[in-house]
Amino acid sequence: MGIPPGTHEVRVPRLVGLMAVDAREAASSHGLVLTAPDRTDFPRTVVEYVVRQYPPPGAEVPRDAMVYVWFDLGEGEGGGGVREPRTPRPPSGGVPRELDEPGDPRPAVSPA
């Protein structure tokens, strides 16, 4: 499938990880049209994060081409969620303790 003469190619930016509002702005600044096939409310979507896109980042497409994005559905809606470590972490220190395994005849912690 060739690009018609006189049409300028643009590279698709990386949209994964961006909030919807930022992804729309990035696509628009590259002369691309952004759509989300699974979101009928996409024009009002603001803070959801893009988790997948097509075409992939770096692909050369004609200006005004359609770029499809998908969002994490979020907690309770079937989405996988973001699994990066959260901060702040629990404070370090304290006495480490080994817990008994269920059915272990030898307790790891002896009663005081």
The reported pLDDT for the residue numbered 65 is 95
Q: What is the pLDDT of residue 100?
A: 58
Higher pLDDT, 90 or 76: 90
Instruction: With beta carbons less than 8 A apart as the criterion, state whether 9 and 60 touch.
Output: yes
Residues 6+ apart with CB under 8 A from 49: 17, 18, 19, 20, 71, 72, 82
pLDDT in tens, 5-36: 556 899 999 999 999 999 999 999 999 999 99
Q: Label residue 40 by pLDDT band (50, 70, 90).
A: confident
The pTM for the full model equals 0.59
- Which phi and psi (to 5°) does residue 84 adopt? -80, 160
